[in-house]
Structure 1
Amino acid sequence: MAEALAIVGIVANIAQLIQFGSSVLSRLEEYQSKFGNIPDTFPHIKIELPVLLDALGQTKSAMGAGSIRNESEQALLPAIDGCRAQIRLLDDVIAKVMPGTSSSRLRKSANALRSLRYDVKVERITLVIRGYIQTLTYHAVISTGLSVERTIHRPTPSSTVPFRRDPRFIDRQELAEIERRSRLPASRLALVGLGGVGKSQLAVECSYRLRESSPNTWVFWIHASSTARFREGYQKIAERTQIPGWDQPDVDKLKLVHTWLCDEANGCWLMIIDNADDAEVFMGVTADVTGSQDECPADRAFTLLNYIPQSANGSILFTSRSRDVAFRLTESYDDITKVGPMDQAHALLLLQSQFNGISAKTGVEDDEKFQEDAMALVEALDCMPLAISQAAAYISQRAPRATVSSYLQGLRKGGRGRGKLLQMDLGDTRRDGTASNSIIATWQISFEHIRKERRSATQLLSLMCLFNRQGIPEVLLEGRYHDENDRDADFEDDLAILREYSLIATDTSGCDLQMHRLVQFSTMTWLDLQGELEGWKEKFVTVLEAAFPDPNELSQTSQTLFPHAQAAIACRPTSTGPLLTWASLLRKAQEYSLLIGSYQAAENMGRYALEVRETTLGAEHSDTLESISSIAVVLLSNSKWKRAERMLRRAIKGREGVFGLEESTTLKDIGRLGNALTRLGRFQEAEVTLRQVLEAQQKVPGPEHRDTLLTIGDLGLLLCRMGKNEEAEVNLRRALRGQERLLGSRHPDTLHSMNRLGSLLYKHRKLDEAETILRRGLEGSLVRLGDGHPSTMICAGNLAVVLVDQAKYEEAEPLHRQVLDVLTKTLGEEHPDTIVSYGNVGFVLHRRGFFQEAEVIFRQTLARGEKMLGKKHPATLFSMHNLAICLKSLALDQEAYLLMEQCFQMRNKVLGHFHPDTKDSHEALDRWTEGRCYNVAHEET
């Protein structure tokens, strides 16, 4: 009888508590209905309080039905008293903070500010109430336990990880720290990175290591790509742990498992929540304890986040593509570990481990070549584990026809061939069965997530992917990627989302952006599939063309934008307007490429622009003719004189028909033709051409115009080549004075004239003045053009020749070798300027008495000159002359005499009997006849 009365007393006590709690909740609801919201202090408690009242109600019902044992009822009394105390504390805070419905606006504002002081107190109340909810819920669940037998069988701890351990797992430096932190009590740690970067594989390995070292620890795996799969994971936990009620259809498994996990009596556990990418999965409303979502009132709503425990006996490891979602789940950026691509060494180990004994190289490949290709392959795949594994699977499946080398070639071809390789899905039993193993498909999931969440962010990514993947200036993005009427677009917000998903990154300054090459390619592939790529190409070209300056100067802007202009070559639009814009962009980039000495790139860009303009505008349009001339200038600079001559004659013919021969651009092209003829050794024709142009330019545009000064300098070079050194010096000094006055001492035109004058002064044996002016030119070139520019190196080479004649060998020889090394890399070993530089190394060796080394170089120089320039070219004859001198120094008198005789005869025919070079060969023959020696000569560049 006493027990029954006690039960009635407890039930009545709970009923009063529920009534009191409901009145407190009503105050919050009444205020919200009238004013639309409640102070920021209370939203969380407003969610937790209905849950507490529900748990109390279930406890009351269970006691009334006699489902709870007497011992349990007594054990619950402190919890019920605690609930009452917390609700009273909450009532007190509400009375102090919540303004009355008749309060003034000022009073309400003051109360709102006061509420901030109670944030911590209310949060503490919320946490305590949450603990009581867990206790009451657990007793309510087991009270329905449908079994009179109260002895609960506890199964042995095990793992629900659905993947076998990878026997070829490549350890990563992040793993040790992940292991350590995931074992801390009540820890939450999130691994964040791109899809396919290896987050899940790290989590799987971590789980196996934990089970090895701690067999009594449970490990649970939850796939969080959807609410349904999350629920499925909890169902598996309930089944594996044999929680009472796990097999009852009317029992809420989320609440059941949550309560079990919070009970420290059940031991330690690690929960891995994989693919936690979508915030809506965790924050979206799910069903309440007993009903469906549709039946659940708003104030009784639950989210999956409510069912992720925070108990001290467990820890949680998330994997996510989104840093923002990871932060919401861990509530701390300190608990987020960024997982990036592997370093090259580990990526190479991963590739090699995947072949499983199958040869991935051709029979003719040596190990060194295979290693080079393997390193190049992992670099081309951005060291992304998923991409590397799929590449290895492809190669293994098709061996021996497929090799690392052939796969790499397929990637380098780009376009659809690369897309086909990266879209292949060859399966991986250690990845979720519903997830694609194609790296492109994997990332397209992220793109779709972002498009759903914030469309303008995908527009930003769409524009970015067409730039060079590194050093993307944000000034070319902000305000240029979204529709004008898109009011929701915000650059910083869009940028933040792309960074949260690890699709882009910023440099140390935070102003320039970058992305992985595979992300870039995958984005373009995705846009192509959406039918949107063409439109973004047009936008990209338009934005870049407007920003690219006319590169008459080597500006920082041009330098920054040039790599992106190179990327634009692959973004040729199809519509006429954007196509002409594309041609204009390439024409600007061509000019900059010429200024920095990147001649082949300049020629390619010029030809692309010419093809568009000629097809679209016609052969005689001024823009078309301008493109023809620009290509000729590049060819001249790159010592491709015959091709330059053809292009110039074509341009002159077109300009003559449209503008006439006296027009300034026509005259400029005729002057360039004279320079080409000079370089080809056709001196008489060149002299007539240049003097006619100079006579016309003296009138228009005038004697001090830049074009006129260029022609004067070209005439000076020609006269020097013809042996008319006095007149040449007059013209070169006049050109240099005018250019220094008009353009400054560091303009490329001025620096070019310094180099020419210094070389001429050397021929006049004015060595000190030659050294001075060449040092000035070299200093200016280093500052203006850089140490890798061909013009800088040519000036350095001419200075080194002067130093040799001054017997300054210690400075001269290293300088000659440096010049040769740079020109070989930038222009190629068969370029005329490189050939001259090679001969100059022989020149200094001969002067220092190393005749045998010099002979080898002179023979190679002569062979290259005959191949590239022809046997009768003046430069080839220079090499022949020097080789003969060297042979004489080696006492190979007969070969030396015959070679010098041949050189004299050809010089006499090509240059004339009175040319200084012809005289040099003739004098050498005379001296040898008289038994005297003779020095090698230096060729002017």
Structure 2
Amino acid sequence: MVVDGLDDESSLDWLTDSDTHDERSLWDFIPRGRHSTVLVTTRQARLAGRFAERLQFVVEVKPLQDKDAVFMILGENPKDTPRFEQAKQLAKKLGGTAGVLAFPHAYRNKIDKKINLKEYEGMVGFPDSTKPDHTTNAMLAWKRLFRVMEKKHPEAASLLCSVGVLEVQSIPKDFFQKADWKLTPKLEMYGMIERSADDRFIRVTGIVRLCLQRYLEERKEKELIEEKVLRQLYETLKDGDHELDEALLPSILAALKFRTKFSEGKCTATLHLKVAQYYQHIGRMEAAKSHFEKALTRRSEDSKRRYYLSDKDVETARQALDKLGLDQKSLSVAGGKKPSSRACFIPNPQELRSELRLLEESSGREHTSTIQKLAELAALRLAHPSMRQPSQTKANNLANNRGLPAPTSGSPASGTPGNNDPSGNGSSSLAPQNGDTLEDDPAVLFERLLESAINTHGLNTMRTANAHYSLAIAYERQGNFPKSEQHFSQAIVIARDRLGPESPECLRMLRALACLYARQGNTQAEQMFALALQSQIKVLGDTHPETLITRHNVALFLEEAEEWEAAGQELERILGLQGYWLGRDAPETLHTAQSLALNYAARNKRKEAEDLFRATLATQEQVLGETHVDTMTTAERLREFLENAQGDGGKGDKGAKKEDNDKKGVKDGKKGKK
């Protein structure tokens, strides 16, 4: 029910302005992954009830238990009852939440270690009340802490004001000047922020933002700070030396919501332009159009033409709007519908390659940005082989059906395949061809990513394990089975050592190796699938997305045993579950739909097979793109199905001889020639 609530287009009404032209539902913002669960939290009971529909599905997060609250304030659980009771009463005055209790903890541990709780309460000045106002008391505790920081570390206090006016929880390192980033440990010392483990983000809690913004409003300084933030973002992005990225986008969108005199001025036009260009790059055309229009509107308000967009930027925006208008018109004529919010965006490989070379020259081969761009290029080459030359080789459905999409972009090099897991459906050889160079070969690219993971993170880390895994799939696609097996095995060894033999990651890799064995006709494959499935059901449950992928593989083994009816029924069950949990247009769901269409064809259910083939192909073309390896495989199998049907004269002969031939053809399409 929560999923249904999040998938409602109106779910964004409370989150975004009405003029954002965002066609997605809130569900589209939820990260998709196979190895974790997303916990949705809100401070508003109304929203929780709306999404869950029934109150029994709403779980209220209680304040900390007394012993935990006392420990957070004192750093210990005292044996003497009076001191424990005093700390407990202080926690109740502050509401008992961890974010607020961090204020007295920071004051007593970093500022005045000798102050006792009674002295602290007197200094803060909590009002006497039988029903304490938790927000007011939190504000008083925060203000006492902030004033000390203002006096001792004014630069850090000023920085907190800048990040605190932004209505975002995580702010990336790119937001800060180098000197400012060095002040973040001071903010962390005072309990005002948390830094991420990789030192790339800071997190500002809601209670700190609330207290800070009220404080600035009391001093009539909030608008001044907002203007400062707008200027900072403008100076960062105006010259084009710093490109807007996904991490910085939320901060810019939050700043564009400021309603200050300066927000109608020079910086907002540039920021709108940068946001529009980013949205255009990732395929969010309606959002791009909206921000291009806002950029030009801001320009028209400047009579002197000095501070807003340059003539070059204006021309860029107008050309983009013209192109977007044509694109939207073409889509409307072709389909009569607005484009899907999940319509694909396929990067240009030549542009990616050029960007990679520039990063190598400017930042170095091992820089994080360079490695990320290398990962994008490798993923693109693996997912879209036909951008060079479509392969005519039939795919081995059993071996390649891991139920995972070949990536369109992402970070396999970072050691987090997730939704960008480069193990797709299809068996096109990806060796350089038609004038391509070695830098277009996915195996070469993933070799370099593996080398970087080893140099940066070490031999026995999950980053390296996932790099081995990605490289193994690239070699398998090329038909280099010995090297593929070698890297799958190395990935499994590391995953077992780091996470345990029944960890989801290890079981995923074990299944991938089983797929490789199945492709080679190795008799160990069926046993490995059974082992992986048994462990996944035990650890994850029988309807977890990872378990469903393995169930899919096992269903195909039923077909190998000529149990077509049982296999078809299992595929139908899997398809229904994947459609519910992942969505009808998820790549995993589309994999299963293709397998079920083949099963229908083998069982002589011609109409069901053709309808499912066509529906699957249409969705893949929209979501993945025509050149994606999954899309090409479905198109090839639909073509073969139609040729067979035409050769039969369209009579739909259900005789045993014809049915056996159909099944033999399907098996050939799945197994390939040994």
TM-score, with structure 1 as normaliser:
0.33
Structure label with greater radius of gyration: 1
TM-score, with structure 2 as normaliser:
0.43
Higher relative contact order (CA 8 A, sep 6+): 2
